[in-house]
Every structure is written in structure tokens, then in C-alpha cells.
Homo-oligomer: A and B are copies of this chain.
Amino acid sequence: MADARFHRTAGPFTLQEIAAAAGGQPGENADVARRYSGIATLTEAGPDQVSFLDNRRYVPAFSESRAGACIVHPRFASRAPAGMALVLCEDPYRGYARVAAKFHPEPLRPHGIHPAAQVDPGARLGPDPAIEAGVVIEADVQLGARCWIGANSVIRAGVIIGDDARIDAHVSVSHATIGHRVRLFPGVRIGQDGFGYVLGANGHLKVPQLGRVVIGDDVEIGANTAVDRGSLTDTSIGDGTVIDNLVQIGHNVRIGRCCVIAGLTGISGSCQLGDFVILGGQVGIAGHLRLGDGAQAAAQSGIHRDVPAGEMVGGTPAIPMREFRRLVGALRRLGRRSPAAGAEE
């Protein structure tokens, strides 16, 4: 249940309104005019709250829930407790997300430029900006309409950002063009030098990093994630891609549309990811590799070869998931049967 101290709230809403928001149908005999005041988990929800079931493992909790209403797939309707109003949805998690957004709208944006922000006179800001305290915006920056730049962020010279960007506190951006509706979470680093040196026995020579970072629309980048600019071409991130916290993206990496990249993953320089690629947490990808559209990698995979479109890999070095599962089974047997490591070492 959302704490009103931190989250805006709306409502109450009728079951009819909730079903419409969810893209679902009220269950048989449900009182569509009854009003609900908020959302909560199956175990915490009370009679005037709405909950949801999207995972088979929570069916017992569903059957015992005191929630007044629940968003649920029709196949589980018969497991509902007596008196619970249902909202039947083919995709109950999507339905829940929409209902949650109805009860708890996005926070209100501030308006204007805080007097303790430093905006270069040569920067061009679109209509209705929100520039918080301590922000630094350098010369020739272009911001679209309704940009929201969080406290103490630094936008370096020449950066271009589209409409409705929401950049949180302590973000730094340089050498970048960024699309519409992009969200950057606190501590994101965009556009610093890539890690490029000519190694030598008398010391390493820095290679000038002369590219940019190009980010599409509707991209989200998590806290303290770093995206280096390209060395001569660009580092790019396609529309709709979402990236978790503490991810490292090297120079010249090209990421397609709607990829999902979990925390602490590292993508080495010049890799190319297609669209809808999914990477688990702590995945590592060696340089110059290609992952085709829809490729997936299990958490902690270490990828050393190209991954064809649609293939799922796991392990280090990463192998097709089917082989990896077999290997894991074989290793478990080996661990159980082998003499202790000390025996030979």
C-alpha cells in the first residue's frame, strides 16, 4: 500500500473504472459501482482495496486474501474467496500496472528555473522547464519541452535532450543527443571518455574519444549506470530500451530497441545488440560481439561469442541454455561424488 507521504494518490474509483483502466472485464455478479480506495498486495489488502494475481505461486494467498477486489486471469477465477469482486484480465500484471498508475499518478513536476541553478545564456530551453537547485547547464545545450533536470545535475556543452525528459539528481551528461521521454536515474554518467589506450611497454597512450552517445525515445537508465561515448563512431541506445542500476556500457556499443539489461552487467566496447535483447544481472560481454534480435543471457553469463537471434545462453563462457542446464546437472553430480579438493592439491 503506497505511503501518501511519498506518493500522490487519486480515487476512490469504481470497479467499472478500475476494470476499464486494467483493460479487463468485471467478474460475474460483481458490483461495478462499488468504490475502492487503493491497491495493496494480496496479503495486505483489505475490503476497500484492489489487489492482483500474476504468479501461480501466489494462488493460495489469493484464495485467502481479504482484498475487496482483485485483477486476475479468468483461469483462476474459481479460486477466488467468497465476496471478492474480480477484474478478469488476459494480462493481469499489465492490468495492475495501469490501475496502479491510475491510483498513484506520477509526481507533480516543479516549474521554472531555481535561482541556485546555473544556466548558460547560450542554452536553449523548451517551454515550461523545471531546473532544480544546483543544476549546471552549459552553453549550446538544447532542452525540449517540459524538461525536468534534477538537483545538482550537470549538462555539458552542446547536449541535446528531447521533450519530457526526467533527469534525476546528480546526473552528468556530455557529448550526447537524447530523445523524448527519457528517464535518467540518480548518478547516471553519460558521455565520458571510453576506455581506450594503446598499450605499450613504456606506458599507455590515450586514444582520443571522438564520438557521441545517441539515446532514443522512452529509454530508462538506472542509478549510477555509466554509458561511455564512442571512440570515433557513436555509442547508441535504441527506443524503449530499459537499463538497470550500475551497468557499464563501453564505447561504440550499439543497443537496439526495447532491450532489457539488468544490474551490474558490463558490455564491452563495440558490441552490437539487436532489438528485444534481454540480459540478466552481472552478465559480461567481451568486445566486438553481436547479439541478434531477441537473444537472452542468464544472469552472470560471460559471453565470448556472437549469440544468434532468439537464442538463450548461460554460463561462462556462455553456451546455449539447453547445454548449460545439462552441464550444471553433470557438475552437481561431480561435486557430490568427487574426493575432497585437498586430496590432490
Spot the interface stretch: A68-76, A77-85, A121-129, A325-333.
Answer: A325-333
What residues on B are CB-neighbors of A93 within 8 Å? 198, 207
Contact B41 A232 (CB under 8 A): yes
Known: A97-B198, A208-B104, A242-B195. A326 touches B299 (CB 8 A): no
CA distance A316 to B94 in the complex (A): 33
Binary contact track A311-345/B, C-beta < 8 Å → 1, others 0: 00001110100011111111111111111111111
A61 at the interface (CB under 8 A from B): no
Contact A281 B248 (CB under 8 A): yes
CA distance A100 to B268 in the complex (A): 22
Contact B266 A266 (CB under 8 A): no
Chain A, 93-112, CB within 8 A of any chain B CB: 93-94, 96-98, 100-101, 104
Contact B250 A263 (CB under 8 A): yes
CA distance A223 to B170 in the complex (A): 13
What residues on B are CB-neighbors of A134 within 8 Å? 118, 134, 136, 152
Cβ contact of A2, chosen from B2, B174, B210, cutoff 8 A: B210
CA distance A54 to B186 in the complex (A): 38
CA distance A97 to B206 in the complex (A): 7
What residues on B are CB-neighbors of A235 within 8 Å? none
Closest-CB distance, A300 to chain B (whole angstroms): 5
Contact A340 B335 (CB under 8 A): no
Contact B175 A151 (CB under 8 A): no
A180 at the interface (CB under 8 A from B): no
CA distance A200 to B228 in the complex (A): 28
Closest-CB distance, A115 to chain B (whole angstroms): 9
Contact B224 A260 (CB under 8 A): no
What residues on B are CB-neighbors of A316 within 8 Å? 300, 315-316
A274 at the interface (CB under 8 A from B): no
> Contact size class for A?
35 or more
User: Which residue of chain B lies nearest to A330 when distances are taken between CB atoms in the complex?
Assistant: B338
What residues on B are CB-neighbors of A147 within 8 Å? none
CA distance A223 to B247 in the complex (A): 11
A40 at the interface (CB under 8 A from B): yes
Cβ contact of A193, chosen from B185, B207, B246, B250, cutoff 8 A: B185
What residues on B are CB-neighbors of A268 within 8 Å? 262, 281, 299
What residues on B are CB-neighbors of A7 within 8 Å? 175, 210
What residues on B are CB-neighbors of A26 within 8 Å? none
Contact B2 A232 (CB under 8 A): yes
Binary contact track A165-209/B, C-beta < 8 Å → 1, others 0: 000111010110000000001110100110101111101111110
Contact B326 A341 (CB under 8 A): yes
A284 at the interface (CB under 8 A from B): yes
Contacts A195-B222, A226-B263, A264-B266 known; 18 new A-B pairs at CB < 8 A? A3-B175, A91-B198, A97-B208, A98-B205, A118-B151, A152-B154, A156-B169, A185-B192, A197-B242, A197-B260, A199-B278, A204-B240, A223-B228, A224-B246, A226-B246, A281-B284, A282-B282, A323-B332
> Could you list some 17 contacts between A and B, CB below 8 A?
A3-B175, A5-B158, A93-B207, A97-B205, A97-B207, A100-B207, A100-B232, A104-B210, A170-B172, A187-B187, A206-B220, A263-B266, A268-B299, A315-B335, A326-B340, A330-B335, A332-B341
